[in-house]
Amino acid sequence: MFDPHAVLARYQKPVPRYTSYPTAPQFKGNVGSDVFARGLSQLDSEQSVSAYLHIPFCDRLCWFCGCHTKHTLKYAPIARYMQSLSAEVHLLKKHLSFRPHLGQLHLGGGSPSLLKRDELQMLREVLDSAFCIDEKTEISIEIDPSDVDAQSIDGLVEFGLTRASVGVQDFHPQVQQAINRPQSFEVTCDVIAGLRQAGVRSVNIDALYGLPLQSQSRLLKTIDQCIALKPDRMALFGYAHVPWLKKHQNMIKLQDLPGTNQRYDDAQAAAESLVDAGFQPIGIDHFAKPDDTLALAANAGRLQRNFQGYTTDSHQTLLGFGASSIGRFSDGYVQNTVPTHLYQQQIAHGILPKNKGLALTIEDRLRGHIIERLMCDFEINFAHQTQFPQQLVTICLRQAHDAVANDPFGLCEMDGDRLIIRSHARAFVRIVAAQFDAYYAPEQFSYSKAV
């Protein structure tokens, strides 16, 4: 009989979330500008691109947060940053010979929802000058309900918001106090109702398991409350406690965190509640109503994975704007300067702040493709990988056979040339995916828990 707790006991080492491959710790300095220039030169006017804009400010510091962000109670630093962000788009525009169509646009943070109407209007104007944005463009924005009122909803809708990603984490007051994020169900309900009334056609809710003082009953009540808000999608992420990287996480008491087995049991119980409520599981931590585009993409084998998690974004080019943002081209990754003040200094001097990057080899592309398909489809057919050199495919196929042979728990199996993650072991897909990661070095880099 499959024992998930035995798997957890065996695989103690953390593994990457695999929102990219190679993962961000592999990015190197003095590479980003070259990858960026080459990627821009290869843009095709017939193909759409996507863009990510990072807003690294919050008006409260949530202790669980692992993002590149900073706490501010004044709006002036945000307004200055938005001038720099707009200037970065202008700098990019000088390197383009045409206005690419923007297929998807995501504003993340931090808390983009704290932006005022004037900054949103300015940003939309500069984006329109550099890109073609139309009714086909999907525009998603991360929202902290504590930032939002009727006027700010109007500003977000005027900007073009089509999908709102609403942060909840947990509704229990004691859990909220333990992570410094007070947020009532009533406020969240009002914000979502306001978004729906304003015409936003899709709503996602983010919740977390593994939080301090979070029992299974408290988590399940939060899930029930989220279901009552009738989102189109839900993301159920596991809290990653990395205080050596994010110092504010030291405010969370280690003794208040659930153990590894409880984390797994809680996540499974919450997933079952969502499935019972009519949501389709997507990958390892997303859920969507069957008619949602994410579920349709998953069912058609078109599900993708990037730095925002599971997505329908299939564009070869992702342009990153703002401090710490990461962009992607067909042959590499590019990351902007992380410290906000340094990013703004570079922009002020007319320098595109492409601080780090990684040029992909053909082997990187193959291994990244294998990992992404395992994460999205829970299987990969090596016989179908004809776009890659046969010699490299054969090496990876041999690794797949080794992974099955050395797997004492039956997490995966081979069916001809297909490597399949067994249905009862899908929560552990990252463990199998790591078998194909040529850079995986848990002794050198800090990753999150496998589940």
| SS3 labels along 207-245 | EEECCCCCCHHHHHHHHHHHHHCCCCEEEEEECCCCCCC
Alpha carbon 212 to its chain centroid, in Å, reads 22
| pLDDT for res 447 | 61
Return mean pLDDT, the chain.
94
| pLDDT for res 244 | 86
Rounded average pLDDT over 291-309:
95
| pLDDT for res 150 | 84
pTM of the entire structure? 0.94
For 185, the token pair is: 């169900």
Indicate if the pLDDT at residue 448 is higher than 70.
no
Separation between Cα atoms, residue 442 and residue 447, nearest integer Å: 7
* Beta-bridge partner residues of 357: 28, 334
Higher-confidence residue of 182 and 14: namely 182
Percent of the chain exceeding pLDDT 70 equals 98
- Pairing type for strands 412-415 and 57-58 reads unpaired
The least confident of 8-12, 378-382, 404-408 is 8-12
* pLDDT tens string 247-256: 889 999 999 9
Q: Is-contact 430 15, C-beta < 8 A? A: yes
| pLDDT for res 285 | 96
Q: Answer whether the bond into residue 77 is a cis peptide, omega within 30°.
A: no
Work out the pLDDT band at 445, boundaries 50, 70, 90: low
Q: Is-contact 447 14, C-beta < 8 A? A: yes
User: HSE of 192 in the Cβ direction (CA atoms, 13 Å)?
Assistant: 23
Indicate if the pLDDT at residue 31 is higher than 90.
no
> Helix, strand or coil for residue 3?
coil
Work out the pLDDT band at 94, boundaries 50, 70, 90: very high
* pLDDT tens string 123-159: 999 999 999 999 999 999 999 999 998 889 999 999 9
| pLDDT for res 403 | 96
Separation between Cα atoms, residue 277 and residue 226, nearest integer Å: 11
| pLDDT for res 308 | 86
**Residues across the chain:** 451
Q: Is-contact 183 146, C-beta < 8 A? A: yes
* pLDDT tens string 233-271: 999 999 999 888 888 899 999 999 999 999 999 999 999
